[in-house]
Amino acid sequence: MLDTKYVKETFEMFRELWGDESQYRMCIEEMSELTKALCKFMRYSREEKNSENDKKLESRQDIIEETADVLICASQIMNIVGEESVQKAINYKIARGRKRAEEDLIKLNGRR
């Protein structure tokens, strides 16, 4: 993992050079590319049940690359809007999701 100071300095350089709006647009673009990669992977998975064909392997690599791009952009957005605020929201949403999952597991196990 890269040094946090290095990353933050780099993000600040991006903001200074290109501005916040450019970073927002880049994030939108990268999320779109990840969406496309995920759709392709699911299509190839459906077409070739239990088979690791070239298209499926290539689309898996695309998912890896696009996920990295999205995470970088999301980190940059966190840098812009405030890392602490985003981290609080993440913690809240994870706790809420876990509570819902636990409740659903209880319901599911009760039906058996």
Q: Per residue in 54-84, pLDDT tens?
A: 888 889 999 999 999 999 999 999 999 999 9
Widest Cα–Cα separation across the chain: 59
Supply the pLDDT for residue 95. 98
Q: Which two three-digit tokens encode residue 91?
A: 């913690």
Q: How confident is the model at residue 3 (pLDDT cuts 50, 70, 90)?
A: confident
Supply the pLDDT for residue 2. 61
Domain ranges, ordered by start, for the chain: 4-81, 83-112
Residue 60 CB partners (closer than 8 Å, separation 6+): 41
Residue 96 has pLDDT above 70, yes or no: yes
